[in-house]
């Protein structure tokens, strides 16, 4: 199905199933242990051996020698894989560093060996007997030192242009009556998902089946084949359930490749789960940023100059954290510039983490907007509304398909009680607590990707949906079932959804908040094709029939849907493919985040008291699942604002706090009452579903809303995330 004109009225608009708050159809399996995750595929793989990865003990240099004798002689050991015996390996399209290091080392904890044994304990014990001597080389581990002279990154589809300019930014900024020029920093962060990267590999001759925890099946199937040097048709990836990814499982990682190599070497299936320290240093992470923001405005509060520069670092051939990109779209202003610079660092690979670009970028921009509002003496909500735009500021002829940011801000301010906020920082006390409110805007673009599905109708009137789409805890099983049920006019219970298998049609996959809109559109396309097949089977005019309550209605006739498949299952396969609507219209989602925070006037401890997100994100397919996505993102935003930071050892080039004891994330006690409001919105420019996405929008702006609330509470501005008590304790107002 080609989607190149705005969606008109279609079967989804009936909203009998789609748009309803629906329990997850996979919920019973997950709550009873019936959902099989990658490391637990005992139903499919018998008697696997266990692999344990040895990570490099240096960040840069070479392996001088490796002694495997003691490890090979250890009880239960079946094989040891290193670069010396693994054979020639390629590098996947989506990998920056090699997944098996040696003799050259690219980063700390790069996999350098896999020990395979009969039990996990034997593999772990033997791995401790591997003796490696390294020749350490000097490395670059400090972004602040590397920023000067850092070049622009290469342009690609995800990062876009490294430099943009409209009008005369320098002149407009210099002549603006009111200006701010500040720098902000965000730290390296880890995905820290509950389920580690894990895989089980099994060979059948020269064909590989890989049960793995991965968000993007089609991408990763290609990268597994490329890395191992085998044809893609010899690779099958299976990933029906994923225990969190947040972007860290968009790409193939060492667990998958080494499980495959270990299984080949041992002659039996092998399972590998990355130990927790390797998740921080071996896999990808969100890179640290340094951001400079310059804003110029007239006394009327209108922005006349907007400048945003961002620096981040990555391994050679890596990519930047695109923290400046949302600034190109969020506010009006005739004179503007952005610049992205990428330093070469020898830290572990930086890459996508939930809301890459917008999450750290808005943590800076939305503080800067508050700082400018205060200088102008304008309420922060009113200041944002005053600088709204309904067109792309860089291309005024290009309108937003939908843009209800002002509505989000107004409704949020009303529901949150913003009128009770005291503008003077440090003015509100509750006993020993200093109390403040903060606001921030959020934006995340709607990305369109081709997505396919197969739908099968049997003689009982039941539907089976097959697609390689993944469910990373977002509720994909449910929204795909809702889509098929709505389109074919059957109850939700009549639909079975099977996901995460590369043998199925290739979907958009899960990431970038593009998964829901595109994958449901792919299922819709297949169902519409199936409707035509049903009409033909029943001898009816496809243009004059309706599908309701498990029956096909035409004129005065009502035929059971299953009758169309009495002679055999009807199988329809199709995909959604987009035209140029995303070029003609800017497609984005918007949010307004409100936070109330309290700061202990004696200790500097920060407690978030309440939070509200108001989101405009097209049609909400399942409000219950969407709310869960947003409150989860809001929780992640609290972590980014107040505690999450990978501490870099700048001498030896690794993340020191590489476990959940040292890398702090929010727990239940940290999270207060959360409210989420979705505006009633449909976006016919987006897709036949008229939906967009919310999974990352719920994070965009949250960190700044927390920071702005802390400032309103204390009068102390912290521009260096996370906002820990040591950064403001000595500047807090005196206790009375």
Is residue 93 included in any domain, yes or no? Answer: no
Q: What is the pLDDT of residue 145?
A: 97
DSSP 107: S
Q: How many CB atoms lie within 10 A of CB 217?
A: 27
Same domain, 636 and 709: yes
Same domain, 536 and 549: yes
Same domain, 592 and 706: yes
Is residue 23 included in any domain, yes or no? Answer: yes
Which residues touch 525 (CB under 8 Å, ≥6 apart)? 1, 452, 453, 574, 575, 576, 688
Locate 243 and state its tokens.
């225990």
Structure confidence by residue, pLDDT tens digits, 466-523: 999 999 999 999 999 999 999 999 999 999 999 999 999 999 999 999 999 999 999 9
End-to-end CA distance of the chain: 68
Same domain, 475 and 432: no
Domain count, the chain: 2
Active site residues: 696
Q: What is the pLDDT of residue 156?
A: 81
Q: What is the pLDDT of residue 736?
A: 67
Strand partners of residue 87: none
Same domain, 478 and 511: yes
Locate 362 and state its tokens.
């808005």
DSSP 350: B
Is residue 315 included in any domain, yes or no? Answer: no
Same domain, 558 and 695: no
Q: Decide which of 584, 607, 630 is a domain's last residue.
A: 584
Is residue 400 included in any domain, yes or no? Answer: yes
Same domain, 571 and 651: no
Q: What is the pLDDT of residue 716?
A: 98
In this prediction the pTM is 0.98
Same domain, 392 and 509: no
Same domain, 493 and 425: no
DSSP 317: T
From CA 239, how far away is CA 237, in angstroms rounded?
Answer: 7
Q: Decide which of 541, 564, 584 is a domain's last residue.
A: 584
Is residue 78 included in any domain, yes or no? Answer: no
Strand partners of residue 713: none
Which residues touch 300 (CB under 8 Å, ≥6 apart)? none
Residue 498: is it exposed, middle or buried by C-beta count within 10 angstroms (0-12/13-18/19+)? middle
Taking alpha carbons only, the member of 179, 172, 174 closest to residue 336 is 172
Is residue 579 included in any domain, yes or no? Answer: yes
Same domain, 555 and 647: no
Q: What is the pLDDT of residue 159?
A: 81
Give every residue of the chain whose pLDDT is below 70, as ranges. 736
Is residue 391 included in any domain, yes or no? Answer: yes
Beta strands at 61-67 and 131-136: parallel, antiparallel or unpaired:
antiparallel
From CA 617, how far away is CA 635, in angstroms rounded?
Answer: 19
From CA 45, how far away is CA 600, in angstroms rounded?
Answer: 54
Is residue 663 included in any domain, yes or no? Answer: yes
Q: What is the pLDDT of residue 734?
A: 84
Domain of 415 in residue numbering reads as: 378-446+587-736
Strand partners of residue 613: 593, 676
Q: CATH number, domain at 465? A: 3.30.365.10
From CA 517, how far away is CA 689, in angstroms rounded?
Answer: 7
Q: Is 257 left (phi over 0), alpha (psi -120 to 50) or beta?
A: alpha
Query: HEC string of 521-550?
Result: HHHHHHHHHHHHHHHHHHCCCHHHCEEECC
Same domain, 603 and 727: yes
From CA 488, how far away is CA 735, in angstroms rounded?
Answer: 66
**Contact (CB, 8 A) for 618 and 432:** no
Q: Decide which of 584, 603, 630 is a domain's last residue.
A: 584
Same domain, 442 and 457: no
Structure confidence by residue, pLDDT tens digits, 628-640: 999 999 999 999 9
Locate 248 and state its tokens.
């860290």
């Amino acid at each position: 199905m080609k989607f190149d004109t705005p969606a008109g009225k279609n079967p989804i608009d009936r909203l009998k199933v789609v748009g309803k708050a629906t329990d997850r159809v996979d919920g019973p399996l997950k709550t009873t242990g019936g959902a099989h995750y990658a490391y637990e595929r005992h139903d499919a793989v018998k008697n696997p051996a266990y692999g344990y990865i040895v990570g490099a003990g240096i960040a840069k240099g070479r392996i001088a020698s490796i002694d495997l004798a003691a490890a090979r002689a250890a009880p239960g050991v079946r094989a040891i894989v290193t670069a010396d015996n693994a054979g020639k390996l390629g590098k996947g399209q989506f990998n920056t560093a090699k997944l098996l290091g040696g003799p050259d080392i690219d980063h700390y904890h790069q996999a350098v060996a896999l020990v395979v044994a009969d039990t996990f304990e034997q593999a772990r014990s033997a791995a401790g007997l591997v003796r490696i001597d390294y020749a350490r080389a000097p490395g670059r581990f400090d972004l602040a030192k590397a920023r000067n002279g850092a070049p622009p990154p290469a342009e690609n589809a995800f990062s876009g242009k490294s430099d943009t300019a409209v009008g005369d930014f320098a002149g407009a900024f210099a002549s603006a009556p009111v200006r701010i020029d500040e720098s902000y920093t965000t730290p390296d962060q880890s995905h820290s998902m509950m389920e580690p990267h894990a895989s089980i590999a099994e060979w059948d001759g020269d064909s590989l089946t890989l049960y793995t925890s991965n968000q993007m099946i089609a991408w990763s199937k290609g990268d597994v084949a490329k890395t191992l040097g085998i044809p893609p048709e010899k690779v099958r990836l299976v990933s029906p359930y994923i225990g969190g990814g947040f972007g860290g499982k968009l790409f193939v990682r060492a667990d998958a490749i080494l499980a495959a190599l270990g299984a080949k070497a041992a002659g039996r299936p092998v399972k590998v789960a990355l130990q927790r320290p390797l998740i921080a240093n071996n896999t990808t992470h969100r890179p640290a940023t340094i951001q400079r923001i310059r804003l110029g405005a007239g006394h009327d509060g209108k922005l006349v100059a907007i400048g945003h520069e961002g620096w981040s670092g990555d391994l050679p051939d890596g990519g930047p954290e695109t923290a400046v990109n949302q600034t190109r779209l969020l506010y009006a202003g005739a004179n503007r510039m952005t610049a992205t610079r990428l330093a070469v660092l020898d830290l572990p690979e930086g890459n996508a983490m939930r809301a890459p670009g917008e999450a750290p970028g808005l943590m800076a921009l939305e503080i800067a907007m508050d700082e400018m509002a205060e200088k102008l003496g304008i309420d922060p909500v009113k200041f944002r509304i005053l600088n709204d735009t309904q067109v792309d500021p860089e291309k005024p002829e290009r309108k937003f398909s939908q843009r209800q940011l002002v509505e989000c801000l107004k409704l949020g301010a009303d529901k949150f009680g913003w009128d009770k906020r005291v503008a003077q920082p440090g003015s509100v006390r509750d006993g020993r607590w200093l109390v403040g409110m903060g606001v921030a805007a959020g934006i995340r673009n709607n990305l369109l990707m081709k997505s396919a599905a197969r739908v099968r109708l049997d003689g009982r009137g039941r539907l089976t949906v097959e697609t390689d789409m993944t469910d990373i805890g977002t509720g994909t099983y449910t929204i795909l079932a809702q889509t098929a049920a709505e389109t074919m006019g059957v109850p939700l219970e009549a639909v079975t959804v099977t996901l995460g298998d590369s043998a199925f049609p290739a979907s958009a996959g899960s990431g970038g908040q593009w998964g829901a809109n595109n994958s449901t559109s792919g299922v819709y396309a297949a169902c519409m094709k199936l409707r035509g097949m049903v009409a033909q089977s029943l001898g009816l005019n496809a243009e004059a029939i309706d599908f309701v309550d498990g029956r096909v209605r035409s004129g005065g006739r009502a035929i059971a849907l299953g009758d169309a498949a009495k002679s055999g299952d009807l199988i329809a396969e199709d995909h959604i493919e987009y035209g140029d609507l995303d070029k003609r219209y800017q497609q984005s989602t918007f949010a307004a985040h409100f936070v109330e925070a309290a700061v202990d006037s004696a200790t500097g401890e920060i407690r978030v008291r309440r939070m509200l997100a108001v989101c405009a994100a097209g049609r909400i397919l399942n409000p219950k699942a969407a709310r869960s996505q947003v409150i989860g993102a809001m929780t992640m935003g609290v972590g980014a604002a107040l505690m999450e930071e990978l501490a870099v050892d700048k001498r030896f080039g690794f993340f020191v706090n590489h476990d959940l004891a040292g890398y702090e994330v929010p727990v239940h006690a940290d999270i207060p009452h959360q409210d989420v409001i979705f505006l009633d919105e449909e976006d016919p420019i987006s897709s036949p579903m008229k939906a967009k996405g919310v999974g990352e929008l719920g994070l965009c702006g949250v960190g700044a809303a927390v920071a702005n609330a802390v400032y309103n509470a204390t009068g102390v501005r912290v521009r260096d995330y996370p906002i820990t008590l040591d950064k403001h304790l000595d500047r807090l107002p005196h206790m009375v």
